[in-house]
Amino acid sequence: MTDKYSAKRFDIKNEDSIDIDVLETMPFNYPHRQTKVTIKTKEFTSVCPWTGLPDTAELLITYVPNNTVVEMKSLKYYLLSFRNVGILQEHAVNRILDDLCKLLNPKSMEIEARFESRGGLDTIITAEYSKPE
């Protein structure tokens, strides 16, 4: 009996498909405060770089803004651009952190992703950034 799934693979985009140009900022009028912003979505998706099967996660983005905040619609489009990108879960979380820190120059930021079970294993990944003093 042959394994009819061994050659099965879905189209996978590479990381160049992640649309960082769509991201926009808005001025933040209270940089003197330690205002904490938390953005939550249950709709983050990327794909396994080997099989193309979907990885879905609840994503929490928490940051203390400096002079700008992220514009929400642009963030949604940015996150949607991961949809068919073949990327390891750990790399996706760190990529989001790097892209948003470069965009916002925040005082601090934390990205937490709670990925759905794969093979009976749940994965929670957290990456953090703190602005050097």
Residue 121: CATH number of its domain: 3.30.1130.10
> Which residues span the domain enclosing 75?
19-130
> Are the C-beta atoms of 111 and 61 separated by less than 8 Å?
yes
What six digits make up the tokens of 126?
Answer: 């957290």
Question: Could you say which of 48, 98, 99, 101 is catalytic?
Answer: 48
Count of the separate structural domains present in the chain = 1
**What global pTM score does this model have?**
0.91
Q: What is the mean pLDDT of residues 122-133?
A: 93
Q: Is residue 11 part of a domain?
A: no
Q: Please check the confidence at residue 50 and state whether its pLDDT lies above 70.
A: yes
For residue 97, tell me if it sits in a domain. Answer: yes
115 inside domain: yes
Question: Is 48 part of the annotated catalytic residue set?
Answer: yes
Domain membership of residue 10 (yes or no) is no
Is residue 44 in a domain? yes
How far are the Cα atoms of 11, 13, 30, 71, 114 from residue 124, in angstroms, in the given order? 26, 24, 32, 26, 4
Is pLDDT above 80 for 3?
no
Q: What is the pLDDT of residues 59-70, one digit of tens each?
A: 999 999 999 999
Quick check: is 4 in a domain?
no
Q: Is residue 3 part of a domain?
A: no
Q: Is residue 113 part of a domain?
A: yes
Of 3, 11, 21, 55, the catalytic one is: 55
Produce one character per residue of 88-113: b if its CB has 16 or more CB atoms within 10 Å, e if not.
Answer: ebeebbbbbbeebbebbebbbbbbbb
Does residue 55 carry a catalytic annotation? yes
